[in-house]
């Protein structure tokens, strides 16, 4: 079992260093076998203050500084431009060893241009903390001199532990956190789950025909998901414990398994015959091909999850090849179940197949955790893959197992462990281990073991718990003090992260470029001139002389580098700061979002589908989906003229409530200097538009329609000058009764119509009521009124 320290810290505050944590885990029975840390800051680098800075007598770019680490003052020769007196910086003292890709080197006393130097002041890049090598890393004034920098910038640590077969509760991050909370005298907390359940019942979704082998099964149906790469935080969590990211839905199931110890499985609903699952014994001779491509012949001793016709998964072990979630999946059936541990162990050994899921099931999982894990996974799928819950969770469950009740005699425990532990200390240990304690007397108490502690059945087991906890060093209790200054919704980083996660969820890959660029790159965006640029007072070179006025130039550079390296299928974005010296155009600092599409959206497919290229409407659709996620509805796309960034006739400005917030279109051919047969489509949107949204990433779930819709087609002749947006906006403002949606399905023009400056447009109008089925008379009346208004007010000719 791999433990990520950073991940573990999400559930319990780790107020000790790695060595202390590993020692406490080992003495508590969770044996640590290996520790790996990705921290790159060398030992010997400490916080120091620059006391004085003088010009080097033999160099025009070096400085001679007097630096104090709190114990001694050292003379350091430095070439950084920001080594000013008074600043606190990282200091690598003599003897410090650096391990870099170029090789290893040790800091020694040396002479630079004839002046002695006794150490090296460091940038963030030299310490491996970030890529910033523009100057020395400036530390906070509150940091005490002499503080090791490695203590301030600790990387993640992976701890590999040996879990004994009787402790399946240790096979999860939260399970480990429960014991660590006792060892460190901190509180362990489950992640918060806020999930609005559907009220639509679907009892036919799950059937359990073998309740002895499947005492609990919970199925959830999530529709309209978008399969794609997982957000960075999720990928990082999985990689931190040695798992590989696959796609957002599968990654969520693996994440929750590692987080809570409850294995999950996601079925592609479209691949389930009958649209349901059945937990049953396999038929003798029945065959299944698992996800790893292996074929198995089953018997009635094996439990399978099947659809109406065939097995779709080996229950608790591995899914079937024809049931897995793929890029084309849109509807998911999420499984969270409790299986018979003995049967899973038998099937796993008999078939010669072992997985992370079977490893947990064959040792036993928490009966109570199945429901919470299901809700947790559903919430994360909705966050990372979108979609809606199509129905309420369908649960088929046997009676909840009884919790073991153990009488604990205090004197008996003291005799078994041989240490003078008081009655109060024993009770305190039990409670910190999340055991229920009641009926406390002078001689005994009654302890109820929760269902996640399958190893606690007798008094000797309680003695073992006291023994492994009692001998550890006590961690002093430090009261936690917190002051609420502003609501979290006002946090700027949270808003940026929400935008970033939304775009990543849509399938875009994030790119990050420097904010400092050259003049030529900055002026690529024709909206700006020299007077609009924020210039550096002392640039290191012409290539880093100004702050970027927009993300346009750097985005073009990103595309060119990708094309040069053969990566022609691009769906990338950048969310970053832009700077403008002209307040009449833009604020001095603002956040800008750039979206870019180029190549083929389905290059992995075959025939005609593989040749389909991105176009303007793909980009427009992504923008509309992003606006919908942020509750932005009053927007429109208006034809854009005279913008040198885009090809004429292939661009639109984006307006929200009449205010221009960005533009989108096909990049002008003059910028596409690289060899690329595909068009490049780019959108630039001011991030403030998302910050100002009335409903900030608010999700609303509604029941699926209970009554059928009715469609009517309307064909009209319109002036070629009138736009589709104007027509749909007019229909929206007309407030047609029971009109649910309007969809353009045909545009036609020929030489005759073109001479008259006309075109034919046809729309499908969809009508529906939530409480009953509409009559033809009601629909026809609404359509007739709309036709009259279209003819009278928009001067359209109805056909």
Q: What is the reported pLDDT for 40?
A: 67
What was the pLDDT predicted at 679?
86
The answer to whether residues 104 and 232 belong to one domain is no
Q: Which two three-digit tokens encode residue 719? A: 């002036």
pLDDT tens by residue, 393-431: 999 998 899 998 999 999 898 888 877 788 988 898 898
State the DSSP string of 343-386: HHHHHHHHHT---HHHHHHTT---TTHHHHHHHHHHHHHHHHH-
The verdict on 260 and 367 lying in the same domain is: yes
Q: What is the CATH number of the domain that holds 369?
A: 3.50.40.10
Q: Report the pLDDT value the prediction gives residue 590, as an integer from 0 to 100.
A: 93
CA dist 333 and 220 (Å) reads 6
In the chain, what is the greatest distance between 2 CA atoms, to the nearest angstrom? 104
Give tens-digit pLDDT for 343-358. 998 899 888 899 999 9
pLDDT band at 145 (very low <50, low <70, confident <90, very high): very high
Which of 668, 696, 724 represents a domain boundary (last residue)? 696
Instruction: Give the C-alpha separation, 296 to 279, whole Å.
Output: 18
Confidence of residue 212 (pLDDT cuts 50, 70, 90): very high
d(CA 97, CA 102): 13
Interacting residues of 601 by C-beta distance below 8 A, sequence separation 6+: 569, 571, 612, 613, 614, 618
For the chain, what is the domain count? 6
What's the mean per-residue pLDDT of the chain?
88
Instruction: Write down the pLDDT at residue 475.
Output: 31
**Domain-located, residue 599:** yes
Residue 197 lies in a domain: no
The long-range contacts involving 243-249, CB below 8 angstroms and separated by at least 24 positions, are 247/325, 247/327, 248/381, 248/384, 248/385, 248/505, 249/225, 249/325, 249/329, 249/332, 249/381, 249/384, 249/385
Q: Which of 519, 696, 504, 523 is nearest to 593 (CA)?
A: 504
Looking up tokens 């939530």 gives: 770
Q: How far apart (Å, rounded) are the C-alpha atoms in residues 285 and 294?
A: 16
**Same-domain check for residues 392 and 252:** yes
440-489 pLDDT per residue, tens? 998 999 999 999 888 898 999 898 888 888 753 443 344 666 777 777 66
* Of 265, 167, 279, nearest in space to 220 by CA: 265
CA 190 to chain centre: 18
The CATH number for 530's domain is: 3.30.930.10
User: Do 9 and 60 fall into the same domain?
Assistant: no
Pairs from 623-627 (Cβ < 8 Å, separation ≥ 24): 623/595, 623/654, 623/664, 623/683, 623/685, 625/506, 626/502, 626/503, 626/506
Q: In the prediction, which pLDDT does 766 show? A: 94
Q: Is the predicted pLDDT of residue 677 greater than 70, yes or no?
A: no
What's the rounded mean pLDDT across residues 315-325?
90
The mean-pLDDT minimum among 50-59, 543-552, 713-722 falls in: 713-722
Q: Tell me whether residue 59 is in a domain.
A: yes
Q: Please state, in angstroms and rounded to a whole number, the distance separating the CA atoms of residues 77 and 71.
A: 19
Residue 474 pLDDT: 41
Q: Would you say residue 483 lies in a domain?
A: no
Q: Are 464 and 342 in a shared domain?
A: no
Domain-located, residue 478: no
In the DSSP assignment, the letter for residue 795 is: -
**How many CB atoms sit inside 10 A of residue 585's CB?**
11
DSSP 518: -
Average pLDDT over residues 290-305: 91
Q: Are 131 and 56 in the same domain? A: yes
Residue 567 forms part of a structural domain: yes
Mean pLDDT of 266-292: 92
3-state secondary structure of 753: helix
Cβ atoms within 10 A of the Cβ of 117, count? 22
DSSP 35-55: EEE---PPTTEEEEEEEEEEE
pLDDT given for residue 249 in this prediction: 94
pLDDT for residue 478: 47
Angle in degrees, CA 490, 492, 496, rounded to 5: 125
pLDDT at 284: 92
85 and 108 part of one domain = yes
How many whole angstroms separate alpha carbon 11 and alpha carbon 8?
6
For the CA atoms of the chain, what is the radius of gyration?
Answer: 32
Indicate if 616 and 504 belong to the same structural domain: yes
Domain holding 21, by residue range, is 2-32+162-184
DSSP per-residue string spanning 214-266 = -SEEEEEEEES----PPPHHHHHHHHHTTPPP--HHHHHHHHHHHHHS--EEE
**Tally of CA atoms within 13 A in the half-sphere of 645 that contains its CB:** 25
Percent of the chain with pLDDT over 70: 96
Question: Is 202 in a helix, a strand, or coil?
Answer: coil
Backbone angles phi, psi at 772, to 5 degrees: -165, 175
Residue 54: give its domain's CATH number. Answer: 2.40.50.140
Give residue 373's pLDDT band: very low, low, confident or very high (50, 70, 90).
very high
pLDDT score for 52: 94
298 and 317, same domain (yes or no): yes
Is 481 part of a structural domain of the chain?
no
C-alpha of 116 from chain center: 50
DSSP one-letter code for 273: G
Q: How far apart are CA 90 and CA 12, in angstroms?
A: 30
Residue 387 sits in the same domain as residue 411: no
What CATH number corresponds to the domain at position 765? Answer: 3.30.70.380
Closest by alpha carbon to 449, among 424, 431, 473? 431
User: Which pairs with CB-CB distance under 8 Å and at least 24 residues apart come from 616-622?
Assistant: 616/650, 616/664, 616/665, 616/666, 616/681, 618/681, 619/595, 619/664, 619/681, 619/682, 619/683, 620/652, 620/664, 622/506, 622/508, 622/595, 622/597, 622/683
Which of 155, 353, 379 shows the shortest CA–CA distance to 260? Answer: 379
Give residue 222's pLDDT band: very low, low, confident or very high (50, 70, 90). Answer: very high
Residue 702 belongs to a domain: no
646: exposed, middle or buried (Cβ count in 10 Å: 0-12, 13-18, 19+): buried
CA angle 408/410/414 to nearest 5° reads 120
310 and 416 within one domain:
no
pLDDT tens digit string along 573-586?
A: 999 999 999 999 99
731 SS3 class: helix
Length of the chain: 799
Question: Do both 541 and 587 map to the same domain?
Answer: yes
* CATH number, domain containing residue 18: 3.30.56.10
Provide DSSP, 88-135.
EEEEE-TT-EEEETTEEEE---EEETTEEE-SEE--TTTTTS-S--SS
Contact 653, 663 (CB under 8 A): yes
Rounded Cα gap, residues 2 and 233, in angstroms: 18
């Amino acid at each position: 079992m791999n433990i990520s320290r950073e991940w573990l810290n999400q559930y319990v505050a780790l107020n000790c260093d790695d060595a202390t944590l590993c020692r406490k885990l080992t003495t508590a029975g969770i044996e640590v076998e290996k520790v790996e840390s990705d921290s790159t800051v060398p030992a010997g680098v400490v916080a120091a203050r620059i006391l004085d800075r003088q010009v080097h007598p033999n160099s025009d770019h070096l400085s001679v500084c007097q630096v104090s680490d709190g114990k001694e003052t050292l003379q350091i020769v430095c070439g950084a431009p920001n080594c000013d007196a008074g600043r606190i910086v990282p200091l690598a003292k003599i003897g410090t060893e650096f391990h870099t890709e170029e090789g290893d080197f040790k800091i020694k006393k040396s002479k630079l241009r004839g002046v002695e130097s006794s150490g090296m002041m460091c940038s963030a890049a030299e310490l491996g903390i970030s890529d910033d090598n523009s100057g020395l890393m400036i530390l906070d004034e509150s940091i005490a001199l002499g503080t090791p920098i490695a203590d301030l910038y600790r990387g993640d640590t992976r701890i590999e532990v040996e879990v004994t077969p009787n402790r399946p509760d240790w096979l999860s991050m939260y399970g480990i956190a429960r014991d660590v909370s006792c060892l460190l005298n901190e509180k362990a907390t489950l992640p918060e789950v806020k999930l609005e359940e559907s009220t639509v019942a679907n009892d036919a979704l799950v059937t359990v025909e073998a309740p002895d082998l499947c005492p609990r099964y919970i199925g959830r149906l999530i529709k309209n998901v978008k399969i794609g790469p997982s957000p960075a935080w999720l990928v990082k969590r999985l990689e931190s414990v040695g798992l590989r990211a696959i796609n957002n839905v599968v990654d969520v199931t693996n994440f929750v398994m590692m987080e809570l110890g409850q294995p999950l499985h996601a079925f592609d609903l479209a691949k389930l015959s009958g649209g349901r699952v059945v937990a049953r014994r396999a038929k003798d001779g029945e065959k299944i091909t698992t996800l790893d491509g292996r074929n198995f012949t089953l018997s009635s001793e094996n439990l399978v999850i099947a659809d109406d016709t065939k097995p779709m998964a080996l229950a608790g072990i591995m899914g079937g090849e024809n049931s897995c979630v793929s890029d084309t999946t849109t509807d998911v059936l999420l499984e969270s179940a409790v299986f018979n541990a003995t049967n899973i162990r038998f099937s796993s050994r008999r078939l010669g197949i072992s997985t992370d899921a079977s490893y947990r099931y064959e040792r036993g999982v928490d009966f109570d955790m199945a429901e919470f894990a299901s809700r947790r996974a559903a919430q994360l799928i909705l966050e990372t893959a979108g979609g809606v819950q199509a129905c309420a969770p369908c649960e088929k469950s046997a009676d909840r197992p009884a919790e073991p009740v153990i009488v604990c005699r205090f004197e008996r425990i003291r005799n078994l462990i041989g240490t003078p532990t008081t009655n109060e200390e024993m009770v305190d240990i039990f409670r910190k281990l999340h055991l229920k304690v009641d009926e406390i007397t002078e001689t005994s108490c009654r302890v109820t073991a929760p269902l996640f502690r399958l190893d606690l059945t007798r008094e000797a087991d309680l003695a073992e718990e006291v023994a492994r906890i009692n001998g550890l060093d006590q961690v002093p209790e430090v009261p936690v003090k917190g002051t609420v200054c502003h609501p979290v919704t006002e946090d700027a980083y949270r808003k940026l992260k929400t935008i970033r996660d939304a775009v990543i969820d849509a399938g875009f890959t994030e790119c990050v470029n420097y904010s400092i660029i050259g003049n030529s790159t900055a002026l690529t965006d024709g909206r700006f001139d020299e007077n609009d640029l924020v210039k550096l007072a002392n640039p290191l070179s012409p290539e880093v002389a100004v702050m970027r006025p927009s993300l346009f130039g750097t985005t073009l550079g990103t595309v060119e580098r990708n094309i040069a390296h053969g990566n022609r299928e691009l769906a990338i974005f950048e969310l970053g700061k832009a700077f403008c010296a002209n307040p009449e155009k833009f604020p001095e600092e603002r956040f800008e979002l750039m979206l870019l599409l180029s190549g083929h959206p389905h290059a992995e497919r075959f025939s005609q589908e593989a040749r389909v290229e991105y176009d303007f409407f793909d980009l427009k659709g992504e923008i509309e989906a992003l606006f919908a996620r942020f509750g932005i509805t009053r927007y429109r796309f208006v034809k854009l003229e005279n913008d040198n960034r885009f090809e004429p006739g292939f661009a639109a400005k984006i307006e929200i409530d009449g205010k221009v917030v960005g533009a989108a279109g096909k990049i002008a051919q003059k910028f596409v200097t690289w060899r690329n047969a595909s068009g490049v489509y780019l959108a630039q949107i001011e991030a403030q538009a998302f910050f100002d949204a009335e409903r900030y990433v608010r999700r609303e779930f509604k029941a699926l329609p209970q009554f059928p819709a009715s469609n009517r087609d309307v064909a009209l002749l319109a002036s070629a000058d009138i736009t589709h947006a104007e027509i749909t906006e007019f229909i929206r403002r007309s407030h047609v009764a029971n009109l649910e949606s309007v969809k353009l399905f045909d545009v036609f023009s020929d030489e005759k119509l073109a001479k008259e400056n006309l075109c034919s447009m046809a729309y499908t109008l969809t009508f529906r009521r939530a409480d009953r089925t509409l009559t033809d008379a009601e629909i026809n009346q609404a359509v007739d009124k709309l036709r009259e208004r279209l003819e009278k007010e928009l001067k359209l000719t109805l056909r």
